[in-house]
Structure 1
Amino acid sequence: MANRNPWLTIIGIGEDGPAGLSTASRDALDHADHIVGAPRHIALLPPLACSVERWPVPFDAGIEALLARRGTPVVMLASGDPFWFGAGGTIARHLSPDEWVGHPVPGSFSLAAARLGWRLEDTECLGLHAAPLTRLRPILAPGARAIILVRDGDAARDAARYVTDQGFGESRISVLEALGGPRERIRSCAASAFTFDDITHPVALAIHVAGEGAVLPHASGIDDQWFAHDGQMTRRPARALTLSALAPRPGETLWDIGAGSGSVAIEWLLAHRSTRAIAFERDPDRAACAKANAAALGMDRLSVVEGKAPAILTDQPLPQAVFIGGGLSNALLDHLFDRLTPGTRLVANAVTLESEALLGTVHQRHGGELMRIDLSRAAPLGSRRGWRSAYPLVQWSVTL
């Protein structure tokens, strides 16, 4: 949609300062009543005639003051492309489409790819200024390439150490500083031999992964060893069938009720970067375990809520899918039937006779698919081998 009369101009600025700005950006700067930006961005510009304000820290603290200037010409300075891990998208959420216009310049990802000759469409791009390095975990596989933006030299060293600790110390890491400006510098080394101690901001890291570390699979039903647990966990084969029934889709939210180790919710999140999940767990130790598992696998966007269902479900954003892994009861099902919207997918697993009987009743009343899963594993039997059966699992899945 074309902007009719924008009062806010979001200008991306690179390390080359005014030299990289478009005519439209220069015109906006010349006619602004007020300019706001980080000190580093302001310092890249020549002396300005209008009022200039430094954007506060934390970032959210400056939004209200910016919005208070509605109707007057304001320029907001941001790094490179403000809409790729930048401030532009955050600010635009607070404005109507006709209130703002954006003028990006090549950002760090584009410049890094251009320096290294990497295809951006084949490269993972992550902004980790304020996010944990564990978000790298799902993409660590030999041959993978990633460009990440980090806060400073300490964060760059921490990233190299993390990659090494995961068994990928052979990875080639390129440190790209102040790309596009007179201070640009590019250096490379193995992750395990990372010794640079004079890294200056802004900095990007380009990682070409190599090594023999464990690779996180992208299929449903990853090995149980990826999760810490106390024995109460949906095991790999059952988890694969559960995820298949839940059928995660981009942008959807899952309720994982009786989450335990959080394995189902975490695999839901692994299915797509836009999925969301809320894990409900009444046991504090298990809730803490779910949080730790999510963090270790780079799925820190998992929300863990302590408390007993159905009471704890009140005021939570409605999901597109629900998994009941523990705490199955008539009261819980009645609450879900009353509250959930049509089209919600519901999956419940049962291992006790009482829970199995309950699922048989609701299947008769509401339809869906009822499935009994019997699993056996080969195990020593004297000097030979035999089948050792696990408790049978009954699974009910339905679309409301």
Structure 2
Amino acid sequence: MIFVVGIGADGMAGLAPASCTELHRATVIYGSQRQLDLLDVSVSAERKEWGRPFVDGLYAVRDFDGDVHVLASGDPMLHGVGASLIRLCGPDRVTVLPHVSSVTLACARLGWSVQDTEVISLMTAHPRTIVRRGGQAIVLCRDGSEPAELATVLVEAGLGGSQMTVLEQLGGPAERLRDGTAQDWSVAPPLSVDDLNVVAVRYLPDDRLLSVLPDDAFAHDGQLTKQSMRAVTLAALAPRPGELLWDVGSGSGSIAVEWCRSGSDCAAVAFERDEQRRARIASNAMRFGANVEVRGAAPEAFAEAVLTDGGVTGVQTPAAVFIGGGLTTPGLLDSCLQRLPSGGRLVANTVTAESEVVLLQYYSKLGGQLRRFQHYRGEAVGGFTGWRPAMPVTQWSVRKP
């Protein structure tokens, strides 16, 4: 049996009786050196430092003969080793004894409701993905350098007025809280931040939108899927939590950004030929904290993605592909379909007759759904109002068998 025991910065003094009992009867305890150093002399078990890479430690615990104990920070089920061991070994082999999490402690110190606070872990995410257009979050940091990095990211995203608090050694005798703004900390960050820290962020200004974004929210050169078409395109793509999109002929990256905004842990790879547009896509993604990787032209950039029995290597397997440009490029549509896994979705939009011919040909062979959208805007005609049509958009969507 595997026993995962959460421990706080206050060490053994803060443990519940059941947790103390488990550690006192343990014969072998795995953990980081910092965690193991929190144990006192009453714990006689052999102490094994968690190896690197992380997965090696997981396998060592999984393959251990007999009962084995693992020491974890705070709540092992909150971005912790407890969840990883359960995924690897199954819930029947793992017993978790949680401690109070750093998130709960931080919210208690700040007077924030936990249910109203987002949790972002930099153990797996890039600092640029912490950007939000409002609300509040607790960011779990890897080391003491990251609060300053987060402040710079927020300033670059136009959120310099955001309020930040770095909370160090929560629950322990060396606990410390320091307040500031992203703008201030990007210039003069807090010094000597302990590696055991979390950062609380209240994002300002608060301009959250739950719907698709207005067109002027994106920097673009005219190559932009307009708001109304983005809405119906996202509906056709049908994103699910944690899925990856390939946005081909990305233009401004608007579809990739909206995909990432639509659900938890959604990510995108944007393929774009033009270098200036690639820079613009990256800027738009940073503005909204979207996890978008920007690559070169399709299908040339697909050369790094090789289809194998285990999926796609080089570029992570997409759950869906959107083609917003380049449909007449030889081999593009076939390359997208080839790299799409069984059950994956493909959606293509076009406004040109030549690209529409391509879609009609594939629709006749593969089926799916073919739609045409026509939108009108009310505009002044002298002293009156008339309807001005936008270019009609033909959309083909299909699910790969």
Q: TM-score range by the shorter chain?
A: 0.7 to 0.9
Residue 3 of structure 1 corresponds to: none
Aligned to 1:368: 369
What displacement does 1:348 show? 1.5
Q: Distance in 2 between matches of 1:88 and 1:270?
A: 28
Q: State the partner residue of 1:223.
A: 215
CA RMSD of aligned residues (A): 3.8
1:26 to 20, 24, 27: 20
**Separation in 2, partners of 1:314, 1:217:** 38
TM-score by length of 1: 0.79
> Deviation of residue 245 (structure 1)?
2.4
The equivalent of 1:351 in structure 2 is 351
Q: C-alpha displacement at 1:134, in angstroms? A: 1.9
Q: CA deviation at 1:284?
A: 7.5
CA–CA distance in 2 between the matches of 1:261 and 1:208?
Answer: 28
Cα 1:375–1:395 change in 2 (3 A) is farther
Q: What per-residue deviation string (whole Å, max 9, x for no partner) do you get for residues 128-166 of structure 1?
A: 25633322222x32xx22222223443223323433444
Stretches of structure 2 lacking an aligned partner (at least 5 in a row): none
Identity in percent: 39
Q: State yes or no: 1:75 paired with 2:69.
A: yes
Matched, 1:147 2:138: yes
* 1:178 matched to 2:169: yes
Question: What is the CA–CA distance in structure 2 between the aligned matches of 1:93 and 1:146, rounded to whole Å?
Answer: 26
What SS does the corresponding residue of 2:77 show, helix, strand or coil?
A: coil
Structure 1: distance between partners of 2:338 and 2:191 = 59
Amino acid at match of 1:326: G
Q: Does 1:159 align with 2:150?
A: yes
Change beyond 3 A, Cα 1:284–1:187: closer
Contact conserved, 2:218 with 2:252, CA < 8 A, in 1? no
What amino acid does structure 2 have at the position aligned with 1:66? V
Residues 224 and 236, structure 1, Cα contact 8 Å, conserved in 2: no
Aligned counterpart, 2:50: 55
Assess, with a 3 A threshold, how the Cα gap between structure 1 residues 297 and 154 changes in structure 2: closer, same or farther.
same
Shift of 1:230: 6.3
Q: Larger deviation: 36-45 or 261-270?
A: 261-270
Question: Cα offset for 1:110?
Answer: 0.6
**AA in 2 matched with 1:121:** Q
How many residues align? The count is 385
- Aligned CA distance change for structure 1 residues 101 and 251 (closer, same or farther; 3 Å): same
Instruction: State the TM-score, normalized to the length of structure 2.
Output: 0.79
Instruction: Give the gaps of 5 or more residues in structure 1.
Output: 1-5
> 2:191 corresponds to which residue?
197
Alpha-carbon spacing, 1:159–1:34, altered in 2? closer, same or farther (3 Å): same
Distance (whole Å) between structure 2 residues aligned to residue 331 and residue 271 of structure 1 = 30
1:268-287 mapped onto 2 (5 Å cutoff): 268-280=259-271
Paired residue type of 2:97: H
Q: How far 1:261 moved relative to its partner?
A: 4.3
CA deviation after TM superposition for structure 1 residue 13, in Å: 0.6
Q: In the alignment, which residue of structure 1 is the partner of 2:237?
A: 246
Cα displacement (A) at 1:70: 2.1
Aligned partner of 1:36 in structure 2 is 30
8 Å CA contact 2:307, 2:339 repeated in 1: no
Partner amino acid for 2:323?
I
For the 8 Å contact 2:321–2:336, the answer to whether it is kept is no
Equivalent of 1:314 in 302, 307, 311: 307
